[in-house]
Amino acid sequence: MPGMRLAALMAVLGTMTFLPAQEAPAKPAASFELRMVYAARARVEGRLADAESLYMELVRESESFHPNDARRARVLNNLAAVHHTAGRLDQAEKLYLEALPIFTRLTGEDSSDTSACLNNLGEVHRLRGDLAGARGYFQRALEARESRLQRAAEELACTLNSQGSLQLARGEFAAAAHNHERARTLQETYGQPDSLSLSTSLNNLAEAYRMTGREQEAETLLRRALQIRETELGPGHTETATVLNNLAVLLRGRGGQPEAEQLLARAVSIWDKTAPNGHPLAIPALVNYGEVLAEQGMNLRAETVLRNALEMSGRFANASQNYAVRIKDDLGSLSLRQGKTGAAGLWYSEAAAARLGMAPQ
């Protein structure tokens, strides 16, 4: 039995968590931290009596600390871990339980400190044979660590998406696709299923795929992104309109004008209802809608939509000048198809002047 007891204690050493000393900016905190380092070294070298003595001294000193000083909880945890290693499970549990509410209050339910303390309490109960008690603590530790992992993955995915969008604007399509793929993988692995942030990654990745000729894959991603946004935000949300526009652009490029028209009509309707005075992000949908209408021979409707887009692009300083040039070219082509050569010439002249950054003559 003593041999089995020792083996069990040795086995748990690999799963216990000793919390590191945190570097402090000035004395006397530095002295406290230095002694924490000495105690940790004694523990690693197997000098448990020396480690215990140092930690007990530090625990007594920490009694005078401010209630919001996390060093007290950290030294309580580490002294508990020494008792834990030595088989003094009751003493270890008492100290862990004293440290736990401090960690929870100061660092949160899902912090690394809190989850480490919970895991250590689980190990104490496991060694006692209290599997039900151990399971409860291990489950809480697991949930805390999964929550932290999800948050970290979401933050990383956000940065990858931002980097990918920048690369897309620069024309670095392969690099953009790589970053958006990484973001999607992180969110699908660690995040919530069908989250709005995932829909952003899907939308961005689809654009990178479209620019590199991977149109079928892009369509699959956009339809999934659209489904997520319609479910989470509703069919009339502006973020839904963004995906509607992108999917329409893709379908139009593949010859799917009828469905593209329907999607763009929805997008334009959303912007009309949510931003009746216009919005910079509504301009792409209006331009694309006007062009699709023109391609289908609906000239009068196309002209109305394009003129609306042109007026809107002039009202918003942050709207791309490229849209104004494109709209004037579109209106010129539309006039030419209708036999209005004079009007076409004027529109083309204005487009050429805009390209040069000049005001129309």
Average pLDDT over all residues of the chain: 88
Contact 117, 100 (CB under 8 A): yes
Contact 124, 92 (CB under 8 A): yes
Q: Do domains 10-129 and 233-361 have the same CATH topology?
A: yes
Banded model confidence at residue 56, pLDDT cuts 50, 70, 90: very high
Is the pLDDT assigned to residue 327 strictly greater than 90? Answer: yes
Question: How far from 229 is each of 167, 183, 216, 237, 322, CA to CA, in Å?
Answer: 24, 18, 20, 8, 29
| pLDDT, mean of residues 305-309 | 96
pTM score of the predicted model? 0.69
Burial bucket for residue 224 (CB in 10 Å: 0-12, 13-18, 19+): middle
Residue type, 322: N
Secondary structure, 3-state, 177-192:
HHHHHHHHHHHHHHCC
Contact 240, 230 (CB under 8 A): yes
For the chain, the first-to-last Cα distance in angstroms comes to: 100
CA distance 175 to 273: 37
Residue type, 228: I
CA distance 33 to 23: 7
Burial bucket for residue 257 (CB in 10 Å: 0-12, 13-18, 19+): middle
Q: Write the DSSP symbol of residue 22.
A: P
pLDDT tens profile 154-171: 899 999 999 999 999 899
pLDDT of residue 197: 92
Fold of the CATH domain 233-361: 1.25.40
pLDDT of residue 20: 57
pLDDT tens profile 224-254: 999 999 999 999 999 999 999 999 999 999 8
pLDDT tens profile 171-199: 999 999 999 999 999 999 988 888 999 99
Q: Which residues contact 82 (CB under 8 A, 6 or more apart)?
A: 43, 48, 51, 52, 55
The domain limits of the chain are: 10-129, 233-361
Contact 77, 107 (CB under 8 A): no
3-class state of residue 208 by DSSP: helix
CA distance 178 to 110: 31
Question: If we measure between CA atoms, which residue out of 181, 189, 271, 174 comes closest to residue 221?
Answer: 181
- Number of neighbours of residue 193 by Cβ within 10 angstroms: 8
The structure tokens listed for 313 are: 């692009």
CATH architecture of 10-129: Alpha Horseshoe (1.25)
CA distance 308 to 268: 11
pLDDT of residue 144: 92
